Amino acid sequence: MNDAERVLNELLEGNGRFREGESPQERARLVKGQSPKAAVLYCSDSREVAEKLLGCEKRGEIFGVRLAGNAASREAVGSLVYAVEHLHVPLVIVLGHTGCGAVAAARKGGSHGDANLDGLISLVAGDEELNVMKQVARVCSNKTIAEKLARGEVGVVGAIHDMALGGIRILEKRWNF
């Protein structure tokens, strides 16, 4: 058995434990649709799990958009627009973290050997806090989100998770409430 097959089997066994532990009522609630309380654009880093960091107790509380470096790519912003427009989330959080590999790659500069990776890294600033601010600006420059911000229908927050301390610090709040 190769590593990929071994890992797949472990994950499928984990799904079996998950299914056994989840109540039929919880599954029925989720099948009816979603109504998350916030949309979070955060890093793909495997150590960053927005639901856990934000103390969510149930599935469905967060509409998560994950991209390395919490990059507000066209597709990521499109997902946030979907959450704002169709799911009516009142809050968008751009959540960066300390020790971000994508930010380190941006700081290093140069080619990373793959056009897709280079394109992604080009969206990221070489400092964690500046990167969050850059991504907030990209999110807020979207026409739909900007209009909803102006009407007080959504707020956008930039924040950073300190991996060593566990806390989340707000860097910027944009709203017109």
pLDDT digits (tens, 9 = 90+) for 5-38: 999 999 999 999 988 888 889 888 889 989 999 9
Q: What is the mean pLDDT of residues 32-47?
A: 95
Pick from 53, 41, 17: nearest CA to 169: 53
Residue 93, pLDDT score: 98
**Torsion, CA 134, CA 135, CA 139, CA 142, rounded to 10:** 50
What is the pLDDT, as a whole number, of residue 112?
Answer: 85
What is the reported pLDDT for 167?
A: 97
User: Above 90 in pLDDT, residue 111?
Assistant: no
Per-residue HEC secondary structure of the chain comes to: CCHHHHHHHHHHHHHHHHHHHCCHHHHHHHHCCCCCCEEEEECCCCCCCHHHHCCCCCCCCEEEEECHHHCCCHHHHHHHHHHHHHCCCCEEEEEEECCCHHHHHHHHCCCCCCHHHHHHHCCCCCCHHHHHHHHHHHHHCCHHHHHHHHCCCCEEEEEEECCCCCCEEEEEEECCC
Task: Out of 3.40.50.300, 3.40.1050.10, 3.40.50.720, 3.30.365.10, select the CATH number for domain 34-174.
Answer: 3.40.1050.10
- 67 Cβ contact list (under 8 Å, min separation 6): 41, 43, 44, 73, 75, 76, 120
pLDDT of residue 148: 96
Domain ranges across the chain: 1-32, 34-174
- Which is higher by pLDDT, 48 or 111? 48
Average pLDDT for 92-116: 95
pLDDT tens for residues 58-81?
A: 899 999 999 999 999 999 999 999
Buried b (16+ CB within 10 A) or exposed e, 73-100: beebbebbbebbeeeebebbbbbbbeeb
Q: What's residue 22's pLDDT?
A: 86
Per-residue pLDDT, 85: 97
> Would you give the end-to-end CA distance of the chain in angstroms?
57
Mode of pairing for the β-strands spanning 91-97 and 38-42: parallel
Q: At what angle do helices 74-86 and 128-140 cross, to 10 degrees?
A: 60
Per-residue pLDDT, 177: 61
